[in-house]
Structure 1
Amino acid sequence: MPFSHPTHTLPSGDALPLVGFGTWDMSDAEVRAAVPTALDHGYSHLDAAEGYQNQAAVGEVLADYDRDDLFLTSKVLPSDLDYEGVLAALSRTLDRLGTDYLDLYLIHWPNPAISLRETLHALERAHAEGRIRNVGVSNFGVYELKFARKIADVPIAVNQFELNPWFYREDLLTYCHDHDIVVEAAAPLGRAGVLNDPVITDLAEKYDVMPAQVALRWAVEKDVVVLPQSTTPDHIRANLARADSHLVA
């Protein structure tokens, strides 16, 4: 479906909304409060993971929304990257989220103890069966991406990793862009201190905006999908607007 906010086009032709809502580090109660706020105020892209231990709560919320209006991402834990482990983890995730497919399924972290070929074969099977529409990775460096691209029979559509003004991986960002891999910025607002950085606060003062808008636009201007998260309604609404808006002096 067409989304109301800017998108990236994945190799499958699917549209990936430029701004997503992250559910990391949220309790079930926080999910039940924050996710409806996000969806009701224009978010359509949700980023989940089995490792977040809150997917059942996310699924409870999603039951009240039209699945066709959403772009759902989840991730498989590194401990489950063997062939049967991937398929079992996917089944658990689909059951908890209350859907029969994911728009994007990511390998959450590489696991050198398990063959990446085996992992990708499982993901390719799930893709062929229609249970996942796009395959991606998370926290992969250039070396891991090169190997994954070499052996995969489906495109590696996305690499999600921490990216913000305090944690900038230019080599990885360039490699992804050069090979049509969409970058998703986990923690685009950074850890403690980023929004108090003097450069960020000076720019915010110059453009008469909040520091969070500067940090989000920094990523968006680098052609990166951002996944801000918050449990505060005002921040949830503002982050979507901040990422969509330009800085004008």
Structure 2
Amino acid sequence: MTAFTLPSPGLGTSGNDEFERCAETVATALDAGYRHVDTAQMYDNEAAVGAGIERADVPREEVVVATKIHPDNLSYEATRRTARESLDRLGLDRVDLLYVHWPISAYDPAETLPAFQELVDEGVTDHVAVSNFDRELFETAADRLDAPIVANQVECHPLLPQDDLRALARDHGHHLVAYSPLAGGEILDDPLLSEIATEHDTTTAAVCLAWAASKDSVVPIPKGEGDHVRANYEARSLELSDDALARIDGYDERLRVVDPAPAPWNE
């Protein structure tokens, strides 16, 4: 169990790799109230995210900054080296949250996880997290680390509710960080979710984010720009009716927009 609290919602930045656009989005989000920004080596935007944090009129200590080690960089030496390179690009002396991005490619629990533990011990990151881990992979990693794993980031939305991983997060005491909480926009014309949005005089996007926020341990990290960034943040105040939540939870439509990558030792 960890006392670490991850602000919700967070700002996702995947795909936002044009420097000025990304920096302005991050600054806009922080000024609108976000206190959690998510990036990754893979996104090729850490420098822009750092610039946005610098531009915002928000003290650094109020912002949870998360980045992820690229799957190709998950050997012991590359993890240690590239984590510091990420700090340089971000313009920070530490990150709050450092993720294993995918348990593929160079990932090896016996090499990768000791490197993450050392990065915690040396103050490069405050906390360890993982992304795209199933229950077995998560439990293996948790057994190998002294530091608690405070988050598992996976695709999660009303049409991919991740019941087992949400239960694991609740029981273990970590956050399930929901990427693609709007299913890349593909979920926004869903008939049931659109019907519930009409009943609540809101948008389908807001319904998806409110559904995520209603679940124990779930922290959505929607992407967006401009007014969408603000609208996504404001959705945190939407409370869906018990009937609406029950209808969503009983819905049998399923959709996955990001293919899970196989762990090499399970192929």
- 8 Å Cα contact 1:19-1:226 kept in structure 2: yes
Q: Secondary structure at the match of 2:22?
A: helix
2:181 to 170, 173, 188: 188
Match of 2:98 in 1: 105
One-letter amino acid matched to 1:53: D
2:20 to 29, 32, 52: 29
Note the C-alpha offset of 1:90: 0.6
Structure 1: segments with no counterpart, 5+ residues: 1-9
1:55 and 2:49 equivalent? no
In structure 2, what is the Cα distance between the partners aligned to 1:113 and 1:58?
Answer: 26
One-letter amino acid matched to 2:138: L
Match of 2:66 in 1: 73
In structure 2, what is the Cα distance between the partners aligned to 1:71 and 1:142?
Answer: 25
In structure 1, what is the Cα distance between the partners aligned to 2:93 and 2:123?
Answer: 9
Q: Give the 3 Å change call, closer, same or farther, for CA 147–112 of structure 1 in structure 2.
A: farther
One-letter amino acid matched to 1:229: K
Q: Give the 3 Å change call, closer, same or farther, for CA 113–49 of structure 1 in structure 2.
A: closer
Match of 1:18 in 2: 8
Note the C-alpha offset of 1:132: 0.6
Q: Secondary structure at the match of 2:68?
A: strand
One-letter amino acid matched to 2:6: L
1:172 and 2:162 equivalent? no
- 8 Å Cα contact 2:120-2:126 kept in structure 1: yes
State the TM-score, normalizing by the size of structure 1.
0.91
1:207 and 2:204 equivalent? no
In structure 2, what is the Cα distance between the partners aligned to 1:75 and 1:37?
Answer: 22
1:225 to 188, 200, 219: 219
Match of 1:44 in 2: 35
In structure 2, what is the Cα distance between the partners aligned to 1:136 and 1:212?
Answer: 27
Match of 1:148 in 2: 141
Match of 1:243 in 2: 236
Q: Give the 3 Å change call, closer, same or farther, for CA 106–244 of structure 1 in structure 2.
A: farther
Note the C-alpha offset of 1:113: 5.1
In structure 1, what is the Cα distance between the partners aligned to 2:52 and 2:168?
Answer: 37
Moved more, 84-93 or 29-38: 29-38
Q: Secondary structure at the match of 2:104?
A: coil
Q: Percent identity?
A: 37
- 8 Å Cα contact 2:38-2:221 kept in structure 1: yes
Q: Secondary structure at the match of 1:168?
A: coil
Moved more, 105-114 or 88-97: 105-114
State the TM-score, normalizing by the size of structure 2.
0.85
Note the C-alpha offset of 1:166: 1.9
Match of 2:251 in 1: none
- 8 Å Cα contact 1:107-1:137 kept in structure 2: yes
Note the C-alpha offset of 1:112: 6.4
Q: Secondary structure at the match of 1:130?
A: coil
In structure 2, what is the Cα distance between the partners aligned to 1:190 and 1:154?
Answer: 32
Per-residue CA distance 1:10-53 (angstroms, 9 max, x = gap) = 82x34310210111101223202211111111111100101000
Q: Give the 3 Å change call, closer, same or farther, for CA 113–229 of structure 1 in structure 2.
A: closer
One-letter amino acid matched to 1:76: I
Q: Secondary structure at the match of 1:184?
A: strand
- 8 Å Cα contact 1:62-1:98 kept in structure 2: no
One-letter amino acid matched to 1:18: S
Note the C-alpha offset of 1:247: 3.0
Structure 1 segments, 4+ long, off by >3 Å, are: none
- 8 Å Cα contact 2:165-2:176 kept in structure 1: no
Note the C-alpha offset of 1:207: 1.1
